[in-house]
Homo-oligomer: A and B are copies of this chain.
Amino acid sequence: MAAERIFDRAVWVRVRGCGCEERRLNIRVNIELLSISNPVHKKDLAVRLTDDTDPFFLYNLVISEEDFQSLKSQQGLLVDFSAFPQKFIDLLQQCIQEQNKDIPRFLLQLVSSAPALDHTPVSLNVVETNPFKHLTHLSLKFLPGTDAEIKKFLASCLKCLKEDKMMLEEKLKKTEEDLTRQLSYTQQ
Contacts and interface: CB of A to CB of B under 8 A. Distances in A.
Interface string A128-172: 000000000000000000111011001101110110110011011
A115 interface: no
Interface stretch (A31-39, A61-69, A117-125, A177-185): A177-185
Interface residues of A, number: 28
B186 A155 contact: no
Nearest to A154: B154
Copies of this chain, count: 2
B168 A172 contact: yes
A12 interface: no
A90 interface: no
Contacts of A55: 154-155, 158-159
Contacts of A147: 146-148, 150-151
Contact of A175 (B157, B161, B162, B175): B175
B165 A158 contact: no
Given A147-B150, A161-B162, A165-B168, 16 more contacts: A55-B154, A55-B155, A55-B158, A147-B147, A154-B155, A157-B158, A168-B169, A168-B172, A171-B172, A172-B175, A175-B175, A179-B179, A182-B183, A183-B183, A183-B186, A186-B187
Interface of A: 55-56, 146-148, 150-151, 154-155, 157-159, 161-162, 164-165, 168-169, 171-172, 175-176, 179-180, 182-183, 186-187
26 contacts: A55-B154, A55-B155, A55-B158, A55-B159, A56-B155, A147-B148, A150-B151, A151-B151, A154-B154, A154-B158, A158-B158, A158-B161, A161-B161, A161-B162, A164-B165, A165-B165, A165-B168, A168-B168, A168-B169, A171-B172, A172-B172, A175-B176, A175-B179, A179-B179, A179-B182, A179-B183
